[in-house]
Amino acid sequence: MRTLEPIFEAIKKSAFRIQKAITDEDTDYSSQSNQSGDIQLKLDILSDLIIAEEFSYIPLIKAIASEEKEEEDILNPDGELCIAYDPLDGSSLIDVNLSVGSIFGIYDGEWDAKKMIAAVYVVYGPRLEMVTAYKGNVRHFIYRHERFRELEQIHIGEKGKLNGPGGTQQFWPTHHKQLIDTLFDEGYRLRYSGGMVPDLHQILLKGGGLFSYPGTTDKPNGKLRKLFEVFPFAYIYELAGGYAIDDKGGRLLELGCENPHDTSACFFGSKYEIDRVKEFYGATK
Ligand code: AHM
Ligand code: MG
């Protein structure tokens, strides 16, 4: 029977190696930029190489696609799984010593959200943590005394207290500003660091809330990439009992993806807040 254990083990090994690199290496920029036009840090490139190397030992993996590379890499033509990953999300926060993360989406045979079978993220913060969503469970691990130890499973509540609004307010549509202001008027607290991994992790662990990255006048389809960031977190939130929708009110996991670097407006949260999003966006789905 097919098992994803070797993949989870490879992610644990790369997490340990990347955390060490974050601690030991400097935060200089390289002379290269990625597909989205961001100038890459040397650490972005190194993290990408570490993950690609750990995955290269696993025959089950057919192809990998990284936020830091233009095209997919075929590892094993006879393999079954395709893995999309963002090796070091939020890396521009490292020089100010805020938390960052790695994100993985595991797809059965093709780059299609409907074929996602598991998703994983790693948080590099004061502590090293990993969350896996697979076969109905969202499992939470913490690295302590040289190994990952499992904590309680993660379930998001029906209504939270945190609000993480992404993007530049100057470019928000009016109805989005009204949504965010209304949540603050209801007592929600601002929790937005600029790193989607720790920001979404906080909302999950503190029982719920809303993380949003809307379409804006300068970026109508938002900033966050479907394959590497949006779909994996949509999978994790839904499995934890939460919701993940776009600005039309439909499930993110039902969206297509023509180009590996396509982006989408996205909203992740618990039931109450996602209902509010639909109300303010006039979403009918
Ligand atoms: P990156 O992949 O280039 O690091 O960008 C992704 C990050 C997310 O972690 C975060 O939610 C978002 O960009 C922040 O963007 P903004 O500063 O526009 O709110
Ligand atoms: Mg990213």
pLDDT tens for 127-166 read 999 999 999 999 999 999 999 999 999 999 999 999 999 9
**Bridge partners, residue 223, by sequence:** none
Ligand 2 mean position, distance from CA 1 (Å)? 33
Q: Same structural domain for residues 15 and 92?
A: yes
Please state, for a pLDDT cut of 90, what percent of the chain lies above it. 89
DSSP annotation of 77: T
pTM score, whole prediction: 0.96
Structural domains in the chain (count)? 2
Last residue of a domain, one of 113, 128, 153: 153
Q: Same structural domain for residues 135 and 262?
A: no
Residues having CB closer than 6 A to ligand 1 are 38, 67, 86, 89-91, 166-167, 194-196, 223
Q: Report CA 156 to chain centroid distance, whole Å.
A: 16
Q: Same structural domain for residues 149 and 175?
A: no
Per-residue pLDDT at 195: 98
Residues with CB under 5 A from ligand 2 (ion): 86, 89
Q: Which amino acid is it at 74? A: I
pLDDT digits (tens, 9 = 90+) for 230-241: 999 999 999 999
Per-residue pLDDT at 40: 83
In this structure, the residue with its CA closest to atom 12 of ligand 1 is 194
The tokens describing 10, both together, are 């490879």
Range of the domain at 172: 162-281
Q: Same structural domain for residues 39 and 137?
A: yes
Distance between start and end Cα atoms, the chain? 38
Ligand 1 mean position, distance from CA 59 (Å)? 32
Q: Give yes or no for residue 6 having a pLDDT over 90.
A: yes
Tell me the pLDDT of the chain averaged across its residues: 95
Q: Which atom of ligand 1 is nearest to 195's Cα?
A: 9
Q: Which atom of ligand 1 is nearest to 36's Cα?
A: 3
Per-residue pLDDT at 42: 87
Contacts of 206 (CB under 8 A, 6+ apart): 160, 161, 162
Per-residue pLDDT at 46: 94
Q: Which ligand is nearest to the CA of 103?
A: 2
Per-residue pLDDT at 285: 61
Q: Same structural domain for residues 120 and 141?
A: yes
Sheet holding 243-245, edge to edge: 189-190, 162-165, 209-213, 266-269, 243-245
pLDDT digits (tens, 9 = 90+) for 10-39: 999 999 999 999 999 887 877 777 777 777
- The number of beta carbons lying within 10 Å of the beta carbon of residue 34 is 17
Per-residue pLDDT at 24: 93
Domain CATH number, residue 191 = 3.40.190.80
User: In the structure, what pLDDT confidence band is assigned to residue 284 with cuts at 50, 70 and 90?
Assistant: low
Alpha carbons 12 and 15: distance in angstroms, whole number:
5
Domain CATH number, residue 16 = 3.30.540.10
Last residue of a domain, one of 132, 153, 174: 153
Ligand 1 mean position, distance from CA 3 (Å)? 32
Per-residue pLDDT at 2: 84
Please state, for a pLDDT cut of 70, what percent of the chain lies above it. 99
Q: Same structural domain for residues 219 and 146?
A: no
Q: Same structural domain for residues 265 and 138?
A: no
Lowest mean pLDDT among 28-42, 45-59, 199-213, 271-285: 28-42
In this structure, the residue with its CA closest to atom 5 of ligand 1 is 90
